[in-house]
Structure 1
Amino acid sequence: MIKKQHGPAFKKEIVPLATCPTCKGKAFVSGVFHQIDCDRCNASGWVRFDNNQALELRDLVFQLGAALSAACHQANGMRVQPGPVRSMDVSGYYEQNNRRGPGATNFTGD
C-alpha cells in the first residue's frame, strides 16, 4: 500500500542521467548553416536514463550539480597523497625505459 503524501518530498532524489540520443551529448544539432539547440534535452546534452525524457531546467540544475559534486569528491579521494620523493641517481635513470626511441624503445642519447 502506498502511503499518502502531501507537498514536496523531504529529500530530492538523484535521477540517473544518460547522454541525449539526438545530439549525442553535444547540446546542439547541426543545421544546414549553423548549430541549433537540441530541443529533446533542452540544450544540456543530458536526459533521464529510464525514459529518455528531458528534465525541467530547475531539476536539471540540481541533478548536474549533484553529479559534479560526486565527481569532485571522487577525484579528491583518488588524489595521491604527497609522500617521500624517491631519489634516482643517474645510473637508475639511464637504465629505465623512457620509450623515446624508435618503436617506443629506450633512447639514451649516446
Structure 2
Amino acid sequence: MLSLHGWAVVKGVFFELVCTDCNGSGWVVEGSRLVLSLEELVTQLSFKLQRAQSQIEALSGQANLGGPQQQYQESNRLGAGGTNYTGD
C-alpha cells in the first residue's frame, strides 16, 4: 500500500530542502520507511494523473449544463467592439 504522507522536503536551517530519501516525491510505502524506486514512482504518479484528468473531465462536463453563469463563459459578441455583453 502506498502513502503520500511525506512532505517531499526537509527543514533546513534557513529554508526547506528537497528530501533525498524519497527523491523529493513524498511517496513512501505505508507502514514503513521504505521509499519507492524511480520506476515505481513514475507508474504511481501516472495513475494519479490519469485519475485526476478523468475527474477534471467529469467536472468540466457538469459545468457546461447552462444556467445564468453560461452568459459569462461564452462570448455573445453583442457588446462594444464585439465583446461579451451580459446586461449587467
User: Where on the TM-score scale, by shorter chain, does this alignment land: which range?
Assistant: 0.5 to 0.7
> Which residue among 29, 46, 54 is the counterpart of 2:10?
29
Q: Quick check: which one's helix share is greater?
A: 2
Distance across 1 between alignment mates of 2:5 and 2:63: 34
Distance across 2 between alignment mates of 1:83 and 1:75: 15
| Residue pair 1:40, 1:53 contacting (<8 A) in 2 also | no
Aligned residue in 1 for 2:47: 66
Q: Deviations over 1:36-72 (max 9, x none)?
A: 3213312112212243421011110111111111111
Three-state SS of the structure 2 residue aligned to 1:85 is coil
Q: How many residues align?
A: 68
Over the aligned positions, Cα root-mean-square deviation in angstroms equals 2.5
Identity level (%): 31
TM-score, normalised via structure 2 length: 0.58
| Residue pair 2:2, 2:27 contacting (<8 A) in 1 also | no
Three-state SS of the structure 2 residue aligned to 1:29 is strand
Three-state SS of the structure 2 residue aligned to 1:19 is coil
Structure 2 alignment gaps of length 5 or more = 69-88
TM-score, normalised via structure 1 length: 0.48
Aligned-residue offset at 1:31: 1.4
Aligned residue in 2 for 1:85: 67
| Residue pair 1:28, 1:35 contacting (<8 A) in 2 also | yes
Q: Which has the larger radius of gyration?
A: 1
The letter for the 2-side match of 1:73 is: S
Distance across 2 between alignment mates of 1:82 and 1:35: 41
Aligned-residue offset at 1:34: 4.1
Q: Structure 2 vs 1, CA of residues 83 and 52 (structure 1 numbering), >3 Å: closer, same or farther?
A: same
